[in-house]
Amino acid sequence: MSSILEKYNLKHVINASGRMTALGVSTPLPEVEETVCFGLNHYFEMKDLVNKSGEYIARLLDVENAVVVSSASAGIAQSVAAMIVRGNAYRLEHLHAHAHDVPTEIVIPKGHNVNYGAPVGTMINLGGGRIVEAGWSNECSAAQLGAAINANTAAILYIKSHHCVQKSMLTVEDAAAVAKAHNVPLIVDAAAEEDLRLYYQQGADLVIYSGAKAIEGPTSGLVLGKHEYVEWVKQQTAGIGRAMKVGKEGILGLTHAIELYLERQQESGTAMVEKMAPFINGLNALPGIQSRVVWDSAGRDIARAEVSFDADVFGLSAKDAVTKLQNGNPAVYCRAYKANEGSIEFDVRSVSQEQLQQVLAAMTELNQE
């Protein structure tokens, strides 16, 4: 399909940054592509498709209920709205028209109030909620979370992500215990997480996943959890969810992708280490570079190659190297969250051995400029 790149004057991209929205997230399996095409070329009673695909996913995952949405971000907004509207027809249609005499505060650990490409707070506001932060940016205990709850609390939102502060933070199980003690629902945003059952089993009332990240489905999202709460999320298709609707192809594609995801053997961190060993050795042969294996900061079984720069010896800082790699041909994208500290990371999950050699060649070329 190189003609597509030429037609629109697009660059070829090597995605060594992981399942990132900015690069189109992931590349679904051929079987998922076929299902998407089937969805595109057939008509359905959409309510029936939504309900029956959700029932099918719920059986696969052993949860009470599930619904496919357009993205994890849409899942946050619609889940928040669901906890405020709570099935009320008037509030559904007039959520943002004026204030409502119902709980609207969403309690979130302060260290989870992050920008993941868009602010978490924007999604909460879209759902009609108002953020109340608990604890501090580097600390939130169960007691601190509980202290932020009051009569106006609609739900607790817990963000399970590498974007969040990890140290001194309560766990999902801790948050579930607080939610139960205060009789408020717990929503867990687990967008990029790999275990589709864990957080529901740990006591979350609603759990949100990206359909295109770990699951490698089409652009979509998944909300699963307690039956009534998921039904309230579904009702948002007549409210704010109308602007976030998912197509028939997305519903069918994600449902099939979940099926395949549960069946296939996932690449282990150990396999990733083995895959990138020659790559790391090649990087360490470059002057001014130190490379090593590092593990995902959020606790997932993902190994990456960290590259630390001695700018004086290498000839470029980490930040400058990121820019030049992205401007190359092919464009190479890495994880640049710590570039200001002098290091970057390469995620090899979506990279072939041939592409790893291209990345090494690009790094070598930077060193020779």
Average pLDDT for 184-200: 95
Longest dimension (CA), the chain: 66
Residues 6+ apart with CB under 8 A from 30: none
Cα–Cα dist 179/360, whole Å: 48
Length of the chain equals: 369
Please say if the pLDDT value at position 173 is more than 90.
yes
pTM of the shown model: 0.88
Cα–Cα dist 150/156, whole Å: 11
Q: Which fold has domain 2-23+267-368?
A: Aspartate Aminotransferase, domain 1 (3.90.1150)
Please say if the pLDDT value at position 180 is more than 60.
yes
Q: CA angle, corner 235, sides to 230 and 238, nearest 5? A: 155
Q: Are strands 221-225 and 206-210 parallel, antiparallel or unpaired?
A: antiparallel
Average pLDDT for 322-346: 90
Contact predicate 163/116, CB 8 Å:
yes
Q: What is the pLDDT of residues 292-311, one digit of tens each?
A: 999 887 778 888 989 899 88
User: What integer pLDDT is reported at residue 299 of this predicted model?
Assistant: 78
Structure confidence at residue 369 as a pLDDT band (50, 70, 90): low
Please list the residue range(s) of the chain that carry CATH number 3.90.1150.180. 2-23+267-368
Cα–Cα dist 284/308, whole Å: 10
Quote the strand ranges of 249-323, DSSP E. Answer: 289-295, 303-309
Please say if the pLDDT value at position 147 is more than 80.
yes
Helices 227-235 + 72-85 axis angle, to 10: 100
User: What integer pLDDT is reported at residue 12 of this predicted model?
Assistant: 85
Contact predicate 134/157, CB 8 Å:
no
Phi, psi of 349 (to 5 degrees): -60, -35
Please say if the pLDDT value at position 262 is more than 60.
yes
CATH number of 43-263: 3.40.640.10
Please say if the pLDDT value at position 87 is more than 80.
yes
Cα–Cα dist 103/110, whole Å: 20
Helix (H, G, I), strand (E, B), or coil: what is residue 140?
strand
Structure confidence at residue 2 as a pLDDT band (50, 70, 90): low
Cα–Cα dist 344/340, whole Å: 9
Please list the residue range(s) of the chain that carry CATH number 3.40.640.10. 43-263
Q: Smallest Cα–Cα separation from 317: which of 337, 288, 295?
A: 288
| CA distance readout (Å), 350 to 21, 260, 264 | 13, 17, 16
Top-confidence residue, 157 or 282: 157
Q: Using the structure block, give the residue that is written with the tokens 């707070």.
A: 121
**Mean of all residue pLDDT scores within the chain:** 92
